[in-house]
Every structure is written in C-alpha cells, then in structure tokens.
A and B are shown apart, each in its own frame.
Chain A
Amino acid sequence: MKQILISDPTLRDGNHAVAHQLSAEQIAIYAAAANKARVPIVEVGHGNGLGASSLQVGESLVDDITMLTTAKKYLTFSKLGIHVIPGFATIQRDLKKAIELGVDVIRVAAHCTEADITQRHLGFAREKGKEAFGVLMMSHMAAPGLLVEEAQKMVQYGAEAIIIMDSAGALLPPDVTDRIEALVQDLPVPVGFHAHNNLGMATANSVAALQAGAKILDGTARGFGAGAGNAQLEVLVAVLEKMGYSTGIDLYGMLDAADIAEKNIMPSVPVIKSESIVSGLAGVFSGFSKHVARISKEYNVDQRDVYFALGKRKVVAGQEDIIIEVILDIVKNKQP
C-alpha cells in the first residue's frame, strides 16, 4: 500500500482563522487529540509562522515558546512541525530556540519566486539534524517551470521535500496536476501539496496532487485555516483510505480529533464565504481575510473590490500593509 505523509497545520494555519488567538489550553487539547489519532506531523504556531507575531500581521495570544512547549508536551507520537518564513523568523532569535524546545520538522517557506531567501534557514535546520522541508507559497503565481527552478534551489540548500502551497485557494485540479507532475519529474526529493478551499477545490486538488505523484499532503481538522480553510483532514484521511493509500492515521481517532477541534478551538467551522470565493478568484493570500474584512468595514468599502484590487497588484504574504493603501485608493476613487 502506498504511503502518504500527512502534515496537519490545524494549530498554525488555523491560527489565521482566529486572528492568531489560539490559547495554550486549546493547543494542548488539539495536540493531544491529533497525537492520539497518530497524525505524523502537527504544525504549531502563529499563522505566518515562527517569529511572525507583530503589529503588521497580527499579534498572537501566546508566544512561540509557550505554543511549542505546550504542543511538545502532548506530542509523544506525532512530530512537532513549524512554519518558518525567513525575515519573520531569524536563526539566532527564533529557530535556534525552537530547535532547543524539541521541534522535529522545520518547513522553511518563501514566496514561490523567492527561494533564494531560504538558504541559511534550510542549512541551519539540516546542520542541526532536523527534518527540513522547503515550502513555496502562493504557487498559483508561478508557472510549473519556474516552480521547478525555485524548488531546485531549495533542494540544493538541503530541503528534504518540497511542498507547494495554494495559499490563495486559486488553483483548479488541472493546475495542480501540471505543477506537481513537473516537480516530481525534475526533483529528487518528495513533493507535497497544501490546499486552500476558496473555490471548494481543497480535497479535489489534494487528490489531483496525489495522482500526479505527491507524497505529502497537508490538511486541517474541519479545514480550520486561513480564509475558506484548508483541505479537511478527516475527509482527506477517509478519501485516501478509500483510494487505497496508507496515512498511518487512525480514522476514528481523526474523526474524534476533528470533533474535539470543532468544540474546543473553533469559534465557527470554516465555510466558503462570498469574500473567500472572490479572494480565490483574485488569487489573494488567504491570510489576508481578517485584515481585509476589518479595514473594509472601517472604511465602508466592498471587500470584493478590495480583493480584486489586491489581486491586480499581485500582493503576497507579508505585504499586509498594502491592504490599507488599496482601500484608501478605492475610497479616493469613490469620492465625487
């Protein structure tokens, strides 16, 4: 039976859905449930990853150290993973500490055309003997050939797997197939896929990735994640079982973990809201949704206009400060 490695960022991507307000208690509850379900990797942290808590992208309720220490305590089977964007996370201040706290899997992420910035972080993770994955975010913004080149750089830097993220939930299954096939063809290391559900394609895209040769899939309990959420992990596990793949995850345990997550960590289960559909169509990073909603309301502008304007400007994660600029432009243009 073919093995698929599942990485669960419920406690990281899900933090986007609650403006990074997951508490230590909530982290403990879900970490214990995911561990019991034998989820291979549980990713924990601020939505934008290690060291990202800030006024610009949102301050988290609890600091990185508390989040990681809490999760580690309950992850006796599952590996503890972190999302690391160089710039937010520095090696000396953040990564070194995270490794000391027992992080097992370090997923070093960059915008899909900027793999160059990951060299030192990937190198450091490998030097410390940790599993180091390269992550290319916003992968709808690069053609398959360019993604391959950026991924090749990450492999040269030491990445042991490459995961592409459909951060905006903008891809359709054939787009995913093209990208994953190209990567599998030209890379020596395993390829993975991280879906968002803006266009309702998260599970279908994950299956497309699998059929194109992906060996790693991300999914979250109830799809708890930025914007319209991610691929719903308990559904994904069930679908993979039906397709004859092995994830090592206990299905009942995962179903229980999802119930526990819904009850204890989600103010509401992710649904595909109108603005998420627009965000997916415009190709805007799902992590922008809370900021766009808040500032649009403040300035009384239509969120949908904001997403299309952001899409035209090809904004990427980390450029949250452009949201206000775009909204002010819309306000200015509305004035008689």
Chain B
Amino acid sequence: MEPDLQQNCRASSTGLLASLEPLRGQTILVTGGTGFMGKWMAEAVVFLNLQHNFGITLYLLSRNTEAFRNTVPHLARQPFIRLLEADVRNVRDLPENISYVIHAAATPDRREHATQPLRVIETILKGTISVLDASLRLPLLNKFLYISSNNVYGQTHNNTNGIAENSIGYLDSNSINAAYPEAKRLAETICAVYRNQQKLPVVTVRPFAFTGPYQDLEKPWALNNFMRDAILGGPIRILGNEHTVRSYLYGSDMAFWLLAILSSPKPANTYNLGSPEGISMTHLAEKIAASFHHKIDIVIKSAKDDNTHYSVVIPDLSTLTRDIPVKKAISLDEAIAATLQWYQHHSTIA
C-alpha cells in the first residue's frame, strides 16, 4: 500500500495550525522548488489549502519544471501551485505578490560537489545574490528564508546533545569537500549583509538529514543506500565507521517546521532544522533490515581497525523550540516504513 502523504501532513501539522495563520492568503516562493524540499512544501500547501482553506499560492522555481510535471502530476495540476522555469543565477523579476521566499536552490548531492565544485559555488553565490536582489523588489515581502546546510558546522566536537547554532567547527578550506560548505557559509554572510544593509527580513535555516518519499534511492546518503541494499536483497553495507551517529527528519515534519519558521514573528535568526534523535549506522542498518521479512545481512567496510572515534551530527533544537512550538510527529520507524512503501511504488529497483 502506498503511504498517504496527506495523512502524514495532517500528523505533522497537529499543534502548528494556529501558528501558521499568518500564511493564510499569502504567496510563497521556493527556489530549487522541484526537489525533495519543494515537493514536500507542495504537499503541505495542498493539505493546508484543501483541508483548511488557507488559500496559499505556491511558486516553485526550478531549471526543469517538466520533470516536476511528470513525476508529481497530482501536485503540478493544483491551480495554486505554479511553476517558474529559470536558472536561479539569472533570476531578475519575480511575481510581485510573493510575500515569503524560501531560497533552497543548491544540490546537497556530494557527488556534484566533488565533480563540479566551481559550478556548485557559482550556483550558491550567484543564485543567492540574484534571489536576494529580486526579493528586494518585492513590495509585500514578509520573510526571506535562506536554506543553508549543517555542513557549515564543519568538524565539531562530538556532542550527543547536538550541535548548537553557535558551535561552528573546523572546516578545511583546501579539502575537495569544501566547495559546498564554504559557499554555504559565504551565502549565509551575504544574506546577513542584505539583512543588515537592506533591512531584508532574512532568517537562516541549517537543515540536517531528511528522509521520506521523493528522495531518490540513488542519492549518496547512508539511509538511502541502506534501503537500496535491503530492497535488492542485501547485504546492507556500512561504509566507514559503524558508530557514526546521524538523525533523520521525515519530509512532512520538515515542511511544516519550515512553514512554522516562515510564519513566526521572530526576526533575524538562525535555526537548526532536523531530528534531534540520533542513531548509529549499525542501529539504522538493523532497523532497516528488520523491516523486511527475510534475513538481510549487514556488512561493515571500514579503512580503520580502531573505530572508537566517530562523528555525531545531530542538531541542538533549543533555539528553534524556544521560538516555535515544533514537535516531531513521524517517528523514524514510521518514516522508514513509509519510505520503503513509497519506493515499492515509485522506484524501478523495488
């Protein structure tokens, strides 16, 4: 059975609807709008409009709107979802009625970061400046949400309580992995300059890891790879240190938390966005293996014999929860089950 994403939205919106009232009748733009985040924002807006008459208009800006029409026709055909086809680096004029901007354009795919680092940097920096400039000309703008990345934290000291927004760690600018986080850091600074000098209402969000329908199985993240390995019959292969800890927030929770940040009256802040519940790679692999009826082996492939030093990358949500009453509605078990169900209907390998 295919997971009911609108039902997920109902669960994730519980307790937040009142705080979303400022969005009623508003127009929201999401750049990079046809990716995982954009699709879940569209699901959330469909839920709010059809179930609660919010009357939101959602613009999704992307270089390839055709792919969106083909992959999610049930979203694309909604009259209040409008697609804008443009390269984010060249955005000039935006529809004047846009009152909220979520600037999410930039691929988090680290394969792209390694192969096309200059293009990644250019898209992030030029794209951010062009969307900021275009936003300056929006007469009704209430908030500009910049979607940064948890990668800006670099290597932090392991803290099982999570990484706080002010605990920036070491980032090796000479590493081949530096293009994305360094560009994201600079883009945050550019946003801060527009906030300070142009009084643009900027809020920065640093997302951690997400899961759920609309995430491609081929994406190079542990959870996706584990699920793919399991769907193919296993073994699930843990690459690197099996004690590594990450956390995963389900797509509908992510979308409603973003909407809650968007509608919050709190200005000029930086928030982590992600699940605070960490899980080791071993336990994650075991959880996924247990979702199948047949036995699936787990194999660990690591360069080192001593794996006592491992990274913990989970968000400290104190700042976010102090300002906004967000609460995780979909557990990791539910998220894994829903995602695996979705892959059965939407993935060619399942």
A156 with B220: in contact, given A116-B115, A119-B115 (CB under 8 Å)? yes
Produce 1/0 per residue, A39-76, CB < 8 A to B.
Answer: 00000000000000000000000000000000000000
Docked complex: A153-212 residues within 8 A CB-CB of B: 153, 155-158, 160-161, 183-184, 187-191
Measured between C-beta atoms, what is the minimum distance from A207 to chain B in Å?
A: 17
User: Are B301 and A190 in contact, CB atoms less than 8 angstroms apart?
Assistant: yes
A160 with B111: in contact, given A129-B229, A189-B240 (CB under 8 Å)? no
B110: chain A residues at CB < 8 Å are: 156
Neighbour of B220 across the interface among A152, A158, A187, CB < 8 A: A158
Measured between C-beta atoms, what is the minimum distance from B25 to chain A in Å?
A: 44
A188 with B114: in contact, given A127-B228, A127-B349, A129-B229 (CB under 8 Å)? no
User: Are B176 and A189 in contact, CB atoms less than 8 angstroms apart?
Assistant: no
Kindly state the separation between the CA atoms of A123 and B241 in the bound complex, as whole angstroms. Answer: 21
A160 with B115: in contact, given A129-B228, A190-B301, A191-B303 (CB under 8 Å)? no
A152 with B301: in contact, given A127-B228, A129-B229, A160-B239 (CB under 8 Å)? no
> Which residue from chain A places its CB closest to the CB of B110 in the assembled complex?
A156
Kindly state the separation between the CA atoms of A129 and B230 in the bound complex, as whole angstroms. Answer: 9
B237 touches A (CB below 8 Å): yes
User: Are B303 and A123 in contact, CB atoms less than 8 angstroms apart?
Assistant: no
A213 touches B (CB below 8 Å): yes
User: Are B303 and A213 in contact, CB atoms less than 8 angstroms apart?
Assistant: yes
A183: chain B residues at CB < 8 Å are: 303
B215 touches A (CB below 8 Å): no
A149 touches B (CB below 8 Å): yes
A129 with B115: in contact, given A156-B220, A183-B303, A189-B301 (CB under 8 Å)? no
Kindly state the separation between the CA atoms of A191 and B220 in the bound complex, as whole angstroms. Answer: 20
A161: chain B residues at CB < 8 Å are: 301
Produce 1/0 per residue, B277-319, CB < 8 A to A.
Answer: 0000000000000000000000001111100000000000000
Kindly state the separation between the CA atoms of A5 and B232 in the bound complex, as whole angstroms. Answer: 24
Produce 1/0 per residue, B230-249, CB < 8 A to A.
Answer: 00110001011100000000
A290 touches B (CB below 8 Å): no
A119: chain B residues at CB < 8 Å are: 111, 115
A187 with B111: in contact, given A160-B237, A160-B239 (CB under 8 Å)? no
User: Are A123 and B111 in contact, CB atoms less than 8 angstroms apart?
Assistant: yes
Measured between C-beta atoms, what is the minimum distance from A273 to chain B in Å?
A: 36
A126 touches B (CB below 8 Å): yes
Most interface-central of B113, B114, B237, B301 (chain A CB within 10 A): B114
User: Are B111 and A157 in contact, CB atoms less than 8 angstroms apart?
Assistant: yes
A149 with B176: in contact, given A157-B220, A183-B303, A184-B304 (CB under 8 Å)? yes
B302: chain A residues at CB < 8 Å are: 188-190
Measured between C-beta atoms, what is the minimum distance from A245 to chain B in Å?
A: 13
Q: Chain B, interface size: which category?
A: 20 to 34
Produce 1/0 per residue, B166-199, CB < 8 A to A.
Answer: 0000000001110000000000000000000000
Neighbour of B218 across the interface among A123, A187, A215, CB < 8 A: A123
Measured between C-beta atoms, what is the minimum distance from A232 to chain B in Å?
A: 26
Neighbour of B303 across the interface among A116, A128, A189, CB < 8 A: A189
Kindly state the separation between the CA atoms of A213 and B113 in the bound complex, as whole angstroms. Answer: 28
Neighbour of A129 across the interface among B176, B233, B240, CB < 8 A: B233
Docked complex: B134-191 residues within 8 A CB-CB of A: 175-177
B12 touches A (CB below 8 Å): no
Measured between C-beta atoms, what is the minimum distance from A176 to chain B in Å?
A: 16
> Which residue from chain B places its CB closest to the CB of A150 in the assembled complex?
B176
> Which residue from chain B places its CB closest to the CB of A145 in the assembled complex?
B174
B114: chain A residues at CB < 8 Å are: 116, 152-153, 156-157
> Which residue from chain A places its CB closest to the CB of B348 in the assembled complex?
A127
> Which residue from chain A places its CB closest to the CB of B225 in the assembled complex?
A126
Kindly state the separation between the CA atoms of A14 and B162 in the bound complex, as whole angstroms. Answer: 53
Interface residues of A (CB under 8 A from B): 2, 116, 119, 123, 126-129, 131, 149, 152-153, 155-158, 160-161, 183-184, 187-191, 213, 215
Contacts A/B (CB < 8 Å), 6 sampled: A123-B111, A127-B218, A129-B229, A156-B110, A156-B113, A156-B114
Interface residues of B (CB under 8 A from A): 110-111, 113-115, 175-177, 217-218, 220, 225, 228-229, 232-233, 237, 239-241, 301-305, 349
Query: Closest 9 A-B residue pairs measured CB to CB?
Result: A188-B240, A129-B232, A153-B114, A156-B114, A149-B176, A156-B110, A187-B303, A184-B303, A189-B239
A-B contact sample (10 more), CB < 8 A, given A129-B233, A188-B303: A127-B349, A128-B349, A129-B228, A129-B229, A152-B114, A153-B176, A158-B225, A189-B240, A189-B302, A215-B303
